[in-house]
Amino acid sequence: MVGTIVNTLCIVAGSCIGSVAKRAIRPQYQGALYNAMGLAALVLGINAVVTHLPDSQYPVLFIVSLAIGALAGTILDLAGKFNRVMKRFSKSNLAEGLSTGILLYCVGTLSMVGPIMSALYGDNTYLYTNATLDLVTSMVLASTYGIGMALAAPVLFLSQGSIYLLTTMAGNVISDELMCEVSIVGGVLIASSGLAILQIKDCKTLNMLPALLVPPIFFIIKSFIG
């Protein structure tokens, strides 16, 4: 839970800094920080794929997972729905700012895969990266919506904490083979997020999130057949 606690505290800290600094946070500074975080996400994603792909027992599974996940997410229009919600909450008041912040903090590959890696392997790398990104984002949001943006921190803690707890409880039935495949898919999605943050290519990563469900479903079916 250390990674989740750090992530939560970063949102609180970012909200405090942003509410105090306000206009001192210039666009060029924001851009520099986002570039750094985009590069970090890209490198972490590539590293996850390169590290786990040689150990994969089903090297084609991540391709199938991405294809099925992207298709399912596109049919459900996850990215489109997310963008419409974001536009709906674009006016400057606390309730709308909180809605925007909660979506940004809680809906993302780093925020979802991070607690799983932390629970199973004690690896908080993804969570620390997400914490840094959320620090920057919360500073920017708080400069507009005020210190009340810190109220989004408990929501993130409950979201990531729930994933951490469920993963810990199910740890005995989650095999290393399954986590290897999930890590590969997650790595690709994290790299995709990095490309989007760097504004190189918007792969609509939200539409591909269902890909994370394909490896578990595959292993469940395999256990019944085998």
φ and ψ at residue 57, rounded to 5 degrees:
-85, -15
User: Tell me, what's the pLDDT at 45?
Assistant: 86
Over residues 109-152, the pLDDT tens digits come to: 788 889 988 998 899 999 999 999 899 888 887 887 788 889 88
Alpha-carbon distance 165 to 160, whole Å?
A: 9
- Among 164, 145, 143, 146, smallest CA distance to 7 is for 164
User: Tell me, what's the pLDDT at 118?
Assistant: 93
Question: Is 70 exceeded by the pLDDT of residue 185?
Answer: yes
* Predicted TM-score (pTM) of this structure: 0.75
Using CB atoms within 10 Å of the CB of residue 25, give its burial: 0 to 12 exposed, 13 to 18 middle, 19+ buried. Answer: middle
Residue with tokens 């909450």: 89
User: Tell me, what's the pLDDT at 125?
Assistant: 92
Alpha-carbon distance 132 to 144, whole Å?
A: 19
Over residues 60-107, the pLDDT tens digits come to: 999 999 999 999 999 999 888 877 766 665 555 666 667 667 767 886
User: Tell me, what's the pLDDT at 49?
Assistant: 92
User: Tell me, what's the pLDDT at 91?
Assistant: 52
Structure-block tokens of residue 24:
């001192």
Continuous H helices in 146-213: 152-169, 176-197, 205-208
Alpha-carbon distance 67 to 60, whole Å?
A: 11
Over residues 4-43, the pLDDT tens digits come to: 999 999 999 999 998 887 766 677 777 787 788 788 888 8
Over residues 152-168, the pLDDT tens digits come to: 899 999 999 999 998 88
Alpha-carbon distance 168 to 179, whole Å?
A: 13
Structure-block tokens of residue 92:
């400057």
